[in-house]
Amino acid sequence: MQDLRVLDDAHAAAARKEVYRVTIILSILTIVELALGYSMVNMSEQSFSRHLIKGIILILMLAKAFYIVAYFMHLKHELRNMIMTIVLPLGLFIWFIIAFLADGNSFRELRNKYAPYDQESNIPVKQNQHNEQEKGTIELKKAVE
């Protein structure tokens, strides 16, 4: 049976302090993510630094997820049994992500090799495209030249 007793004041103050600390950590992580995202604005699509920044952003995303689940959802303060019943099944995602992304990548490579006429980059560009997008495209073409 869970202990439903009312928390004492010291305990409550410590809990509130933890909330403020986690809020600050989450805000800083978000600001760093946004700054990294902003730094990619004029970077070429396939450059190594762009992939590196994307990787860093994904790691920061996992850190944010950890802080939300561990502290806001209070999972870190539960019993080990409880933590494991939630976390272990989610481990399936490691396999899901590796398997499905590899599958998508292999599908693209096979299509490029055996059915290059089917590439979507062969679709002619329609007129009256969105203006902002045209601007970005021109910038990129200039960068290539």
Partner 1 sequence: MSTTTATATATTKWWSGGRSPFNVEYGKIMMWYFLMSDAFTFGALLISYGTTRFATQGWPDPNHVFNSFPGLGSGYPLLFVSLMTFILILSSVTMVLAVQAGQNMNKRAVVSNLIFTIIGGLAFLGCQAWEWTHLHHEGAWWGRNPFLNADGTQSTTNFTNFFFTITGFHGFHVFSGVVINIIMLIMTLNNTFEKRGHYLMIEKAGLYWHFVDLVWVFVFTCFYLV
* Site membership for partner 1, residue 28 (CB under 8 A): no
* Site membership for partner 1, residue 120 (CB under 8 A): yes
* DSSP state for residue 73 in the 8-state scheme: S
Q: Check: CB of residue 71 under 8 Å from CB of residue 61.
A: no
* Site membership for partner 1, residue 10 (CB under 8 A): no
Is residue 83 packed enough to be buried (19+ CB in 10 Å), middle (13-18) or exposed (0-12)?
Answer: middle
Q: Check: CB of residue 1 under 8 Å from CB of residue 53.
A: no
Given candidates 10, 94, 115, 123, which one binds partner 1 under the rule CB under 8 A?
Answer: 123
Q: How far is the CB of 21 from partner 1 (least distance, A)?
A: 11
User: Please, which of residues 39-58 interact with partner 1 by CB under 8 A?
Assistant: 40-41, 45, 54, 57-58
* Site membership for partner 1, residue 19 (CB under 8 A): yes
